[in-house]
Structure 1
Amino acid sequence: MSNQQAAQTPNVKALPIIASFLIAGFIGLFSETALNMALRDLIIGFGIHETTAQWLTTGYLLTLGILVPISGFILQWFTTRQLFIASLIFSIIGTFIAAIAPTFSVLMIARVVQAIGTALLLPLMFNTILVIISPHKRGRAMGIIGLVIMFAPAVGPTVSGLILKTLTWHWIFWISLPLLLVALVFGSFFMQNITTPTKPKIDILSIILSTIGFGGIVYGFSSAGEGGGWGSTEVIIALVVGILGLIVFSIRQVKMKEPMLDLTAFKYPMFVIGLLLILVSMMVILSSMMILPLYLQTSLALSTFAAGLMLLPGGIVNGLLSPVMGGLFDRFGPKWLVIPGLIIVVATMFGFSTISLETSTALIVALHIALMIGVSMIMMPAQTNGLNELPPELYPHGTAIMNTLQQVAGAVGTAVAISILSSGSRSFMESVSDPTDPLNAVLAFTNGVQNAFIFGAIVAVVGLIISFFIKRIIVDNQEQAH
């Protein structure tokens, strides 16, 4: 894609295009967290082990980790309409298979097909926004996208808690299906082609190396987090192969005339700082979203539905604030949002590290809301500012890099937090006089939760230090291109 191609879009109707993406994106991301709440039902229903059930999430993440890096290349091979319709068809087929799944293996296949749809949709959505919205209005547009990206996973657990109270887990998918069909029909009418495919040369070796590299790392960290442990042969081999694959992949991309993933995006300092801040946010938020429900259900003995309800206000606040933060970013730039946002996140993570069996539910809800406010001040401003620095021909590559490394950061953050929780629980149990006392088991788990949140606080402090280097990007030539 070139400046000229980005400029060929004067008659684009941005609103219907964004609306099409929002409907499709919401359902894709909603089913992701909605299914997490049904894991217990699936374990009992299919008679499987917890680590097996976890593959529904790991398989989904793994598919994203493999496909999203290739998305920069795919975006240059097909038109916007072709990719949008293809992504929805994959999502619809995956959702339908999941709704009728009679066995775990069929449900697993359905999750992979769903993930293919999401892997095509997310980078396409960001790339389209970059092309059709001029830089001085991008913050608000990205904020509206952020509303969906944060709001859908936030309401997922609560809605699925309601569904599971009266219906089976199949209904999580049956309810999503008609909405995806609406998105397909709506998008078929309103989606426009906003770029001209350049069809770069296909490099099979790059695709293989990318798959081994990103797939190996996501698989390694996910397996460690699921109880495989850092010392297991499987985890070590996956991580070593993944890292080696990534090194060879990166060297090959730098040397190629037409790389599959153009790493020259890393020459732009604000893109790198924006990327690092996004990775910090993803590690903090995904590890918290894993640890908090466990604490609420294990330490405080709350039901699935009650735990989902407690996390709902924070998710709603984050979703509603995302467009507001986007508007503030357009007016004031990133610094006055990102730095205070990270200060709030650091404070809330240290607050979470003090929670115990006596902590009131009101305090947990308040801390969660504060965390979500902080995250809304960091994510979209950092991402938009970073992408604004790139020239238009690097948009597909920049969005692919950001979306890929977000999946990796999520897998890393979750795995490290879970292993810190486990080792914290173990060391507590070794220090008590009566390990058979059920109260000690709960106290041990709570101790592990506190340690996991201290890890989150340290990650957030690193993010705060990075944020002092962020500067506003104003790119006149891109504005003229629109």
Structure 2
Amino acid sequence: MTPPASSAPTVLGADATTETPAARPTGTPPVIRWLVLATFIVILNETIMINAIPRLMTDLAITAQAAQWLSTAFMLTMAAVIPVTGWFLQRFATRTAYLTAMTTFLVGTALAAVSPTFEVLLGARIIQAGGTAVMIPLLMTTLMTVVPQSDRGRVMGNVTLAMSVAPAMGPAVSGVVLQAGSWRLLFVLVLPIAGAITWVGMRRLENVGEPQPGDVDWFSVVVAALGFGGLVYGLSRFSEGEVAVPVGLIVAGLLAIGAFAWRQRSLQRTGSPLMDLRVLTHRTYTLSLLLMAVSFMAMLGSMILLPLYLQEVRGLSPLQTGLLVMPGGLAMGLLGPSVGKVFDRLGGRVLVVPGAVGIVAALTGLTQVGASTPYAFVLGIHVLLSISLAAVFTPVFTIGLGALPAHLYSHGSSMLGTLQQVAAAFGTALVITVMTTRAATLVSGGTDPVAALLDGLRSAFWVGAGISVLVVVLAVVLPNRPDTTDATDVPAVGH
């Protein structure tokens, strides 16, 4: 249960409000509406470059491997920057954090629109990702601070629109834009929309409390960037068919993460860790974290494999592919508010358990796709997967963060965002490695390349279906609602 504001520790730099949760007005607070809108725009750019790779290869005279870095670097930057946001959101007020994130994103978008070379475009994508990395924890932390527990499911359902629909819409939006003109239009169209949201948001946003003083520990910043960035980079290199280099990068990343964890344990004695690892002492939060990571791997795996199947095996264009997967993304987002309302009334188990079973069923269904599978079947399976993920994500986010004491919201959001990037990289590396290894083995034995690719895709979907069984196991043991004893406030300093 969220403690009264008079006794709650500061979050986003301060107490949430001077009112008790019971006195807060019902409905989605305006601050959440503007943060959701801004977050939707910035997350949309994470996947908007997927369909532009062929055009970029021609215009910038680069290889497909180099072009893929425009998405990989975005994910890498997110993984390196998000661990810092727990400290950042406690030290700076809401408006300052919002302006910093959106200004960074706008600078990156403007630079990308006029990039003369691949190197400049890559740098612009990194700048964009820096702003995006702040927006996601800012939205989640603010929501947990200003929305009473009794209404969090419904409001978290609205947040699903930004967190899940935006990545799904990215390829579809880029497919439509690329039909009309240059890849630069992807950034030219986003720039004024993001600018208007930034300007209006700054006029209407109100600060949530006062900042907390504290210095940043630069050693933690460096080892966090090296650790999480190295881990994600190493996992992404597996898709290139290498082994030695990715393993070395992963080992180095894990060692740096170990040094980061040791440093945070030391800093907890003074109350100023970059990422407070005491969030992991809350069992419900840790279960939610694991469930979210496995679900995210399932979602990202399907997002990578399904377009490959539709374009390389079935011969669809990027635009046709985007339009086919768009209904699933829309269903996930549009169901978010309804899922949230059900959670507020009945709790999470009635949603999470059936949703977990639906994920397994959908991924198992995708193992049956062939060279002439009806598109209606593919569409139906993708919609089932999207609906199932919607039923899982909203309750899991709400239960997990709700199990934390208020002063750990920003750190819990930060860890949640970091693990999302690691899970995305791991899921992508795993399914691509399985697919390419199986396909290469068959081709070397004389199998037709397209038939070999199809078999590799099926094998990768089987792996995803197998992993998703763990989602069912975790869903069964996850509490129906946040454990109020687990969220009991603890001192912010010491162990």
What does residue 465 of structure 1 align with?
473
- Displacement, 1:199? 2.2
Identity %: 34
How far apart, in 2, do the equivalents of 1:289 and 1:240 lie? 27
8 Å Cα contact 2:282/2:486 also seen in 1:
no
What does residue 105 of structure 2 align with?
91
Match of residue 8, structure 2, among 3, 7, 13: 3
How far apart, in 1, do the equivalents of 2:216 and 2:323 lie? 48
- Displacement, 1:7? 4.7
Moved more, 180-189 or 9-18: 9-18
Match of residue 69, structure 1, among 77, 83, 88: 83
- Displacement, 1:12? 8.5
Establish whether residue 101 from structure 1 lines up as the match of residue 137 from structure 2: no
Give the AA of the match of 2:475.
S
The one-character-per-residue Cα deviations of 1:124-156 (angstroms, maximum 9, x if unpaired) are 110000100011111111110111221222222
What does residue 239 of structure 1 align with?
250
Establish whether residue 442 from structure 1 lines up as the match of residue 450 from structure 2: yes
8 Å Cα contact 2:98/2:135 also seen in 1:
yes
The one-character-per-residue Cα deviations of 1:79-120 (angstroms, maximum 9, x if unpaired) are 110010111111111111111111111110110110011011
Match of residue 413, structure 1, among 427, 437, 441: 427
- Displacement, 1:32? 2.0
How far apart, in 2, do the equivalents of 1:351 and 1:9 lie? 51
Query: Where do 1:55-204 residues align within 5 Å?
Result: 55-204=69-218
8 Å Cα contact 2:403/2:486 also seen in 1:
no
- Displacement, 1:237? 2.0
Shift in alpha-carbon separation, 1:394–1:94, aligned structure 2, 3 A:
same
Query: Where do 1:201-216 residues align within 5 Å?
Result: 201-216=215-230
Give the AA of the match of 1:6.
D
Match of residue 301, structure 1, among 311, 315, 339: 315
What secondary structure, in the 3-state scheme, does the structure 2 residue paired with 1:356 have?
coil
8 Å Cα contact 2:16/2:208 also seen in 1:
no
Establish whether residue 367 from structure 1 lines up as the match of residue 381 from structure 2: yes
Indicate the RMSD between aligned Cα atoms, in angstroms: 1.9
How far apart, in 2, do the equivalents of 1:363 and 1:477 lie? 44
8 Å Cα contact 2:17/2:146 also seen in 1:
no
How far apart, in 2, do the equivalents of 1:29 and 1:8 lie? 29
What does residue 47 of structure 2 align with?
33
What does residue 395 of structure 2 align with?
381
How far apart, in 1, do the equivalents of 2:488 and 2:303 lie? 38
Establish whether residue 262 from structure 1 lines up as the match of residue 276 from structure 2: yes
8 Å Cα contact 2:362/2:385 also seen in 1:
yes
What does residue 353 of structure 1 align with?
367
Give the AA of the match of 1:8.
T
8 Å Cα contact 1:282/1:410 also seen in 2:
yes
8 Å Cα contact 2:367/2:458 also seen in 1:
yes
The one-character-per-residue Cα deviations of 1:428-479 (angstroms, maximum 9, x if unpaired) are 22333xx5xxxx1110000010011011101110111111111122549989
How far apart, in 2, do the equivalents of 1:93 and 1:59 lie? 17
- Displacement, 1:388? 0.5
How far apart, in 2, do the equivalents of 1:90 and 1:205 lie? 24
8 Å Cα contact 2:40/2:161 also seen in 1:
no
8 Å Cα contact 1:134/1:478 also seen in 2:
no
- Displacement, 1:162? 1.4
Give the AA of the match of 2:17.
Q
Moved more, 297-306 or 204-213: 204-213
8 Å Cα contact 1:280/1:460 also seen in 2:
yes
The one-character-per-residue Cα deviations of 1:236-295 (angstroms, maximum 9, x if unpaired) are 221111001111211221232222111111111110111111101110001110110011
What secondary structure, in the 3-state scheme, does the structure 2 residue paired with 1:3 have?
coil
How far apart, in 2, do the equivalents of 1:60 and 1:9 lie? 39
How far apart, in 1, do the equivalents of 2:376 and 2:413 lie? 38
What does residue 261 of structure 2 align with?
250
8 Å Cα contact 2:297/2:428 also seen in 1:
yes
How far apart, in 2, do the equivalents of 1:58 and 1:400 lie? 20
Shift in alpha-carbon separation, 1:15–1:7, aligned structure 2, 3 A:
closer
What secondary structure, in the 3-state scheme, does the structure 2 residue paired with 1:427 have?
helix
How far apart, in 2, do the equivalents of 1:159 and 1:245 lie? 38
How far apart, in 2, do the equivalents of 1:126 and 1:53 lie? 31
Shift in alpha-carbon separation, 1:157–1:138, aligned structure 2, 3 A:
same
Shift in alpha-carbon separation, 1:237–1:387, aligned structure 2, 3 A:
same
What does residue 429 of structure 1 align with?
443
TM-score (norm 2): 0.92
How far apart, in 1, do the equivalents of 2:110 and 2:454 lie? 39
Give the AA of the match of 2:467.
V
Runs of 5+ unmatched residues, structure 1: none
Match of residue 277, structure 1, among 291, 295, 298: 291
8 Å Cα contact 1:295/1:449 also seen in 2:
yes
8 Å Cα contact 1:30/1:156 also seen in 2:
yes
What secondary structure, in the 3-state scheme, does the structure 1 residue paired with 2:274 have?
coil
Runs of 5+ unmatched residues, structure 2: 490-495
8 Å Cα contact 1:134/1:479 also seen in 2:
no
How far apart, in 2, do the equivalents of 1:121 and 1:83 lie? 8
TM-score (norm 1): 0.94
Match of residue 218, structure 1, among 227, 232, 237: 232
How far apart, in 2, do the equivalents of 1:228 and 1:297 lie? 21
Match of residue 324, structure 2, among 304, 310, 314: 310
How far apart, in 2, do the equivalents of 1:344 and 1:417 lie? 20
